[in-house]
Amino acid sequence: MPKIPIDECPAGPEMDAAVAEVLGFKTKWFEYPDGSKILLLCDERDNWRSIPAYSANNIAAAWELVEKERMRIGWTEAWDVPYAACRELICEYADKHPLAICRAFLKANGVEHVEVPE
């Protein structure tokens, strides 16, 4: 699969998969007989389930990332600047808070690119 820079990756399953993989989950695409696809993650008990929409409009899922980083190394929310999330010198901007949080989370964990389908 080709890769694109995090700053160019929109909210959606590819961004969510990158986040889930940093969190230690395995991910895979499941294809239904009609050809439609869904991205799944494998939890600690080897159960496959739908991946949380970290990067879309689900601030609760994205906020879990803020809490994990806050406990791990410290995090600053720049809510006075619309749709920004910062961690030390990493500051991300996006059209929605969850996407900014995901981008900052990935960069803070050394991820620079996201795999996208061809």
Q: Encode pLDDT of 3-44 as tens digits.
A: 999 989 999 999 999 999 999 899 988 889 998 888 888 877
**Residue with tokens 């996407």, as numbered in its chain:** 99
CB atoms within 10 A of CB 55: 31
Enter the tokens of residue 30: 């499941």
Asked whether residue 100 is domain-assigned, the answer is yes
Supply the pLDDT for residue 87.
52
Residue 113: how many other CB atoms lie within 10 Å: 14
Give me the amino acid identity at 85: A
Gap between the Cα atoms of 40 and 35, Å rounded: 15
Chain centroid to CA 14: 8
Query: d(Cα 2, Cα 95) in Å, to the nearest integer?
Result: 24
- Is position 32 within any domain? no
- Locate 43 and state its tokens: 């939890």
**Domain count for the chain:** 1
**Minimum mean pLDDT range among 6-15, 55-64, 76-85, 104-113:** 76-85
Domain that holds residue 74: 3-23+52-115
Residue written as token pair 């949080």: 101
Residue 99 lies in a domain: yes
Mean pLDDT of the chain: 79
The pLDDT of residue 76 is 53
**pLDDT score recorded for residue 22:** 92
Residue 28 lies in a domain: no
Specify the pLDDT at position 33: 93
Residue 71 lies in a domain: yes
pLDDT the model gives residue 114? 92
Contact assessment for residue 10 and residue 57, using Cβ atoms and an 8 Å cutoff: no
Model confidence at 91: pLDDT above 90 = no
What pLDDT sits at residue 39? 86
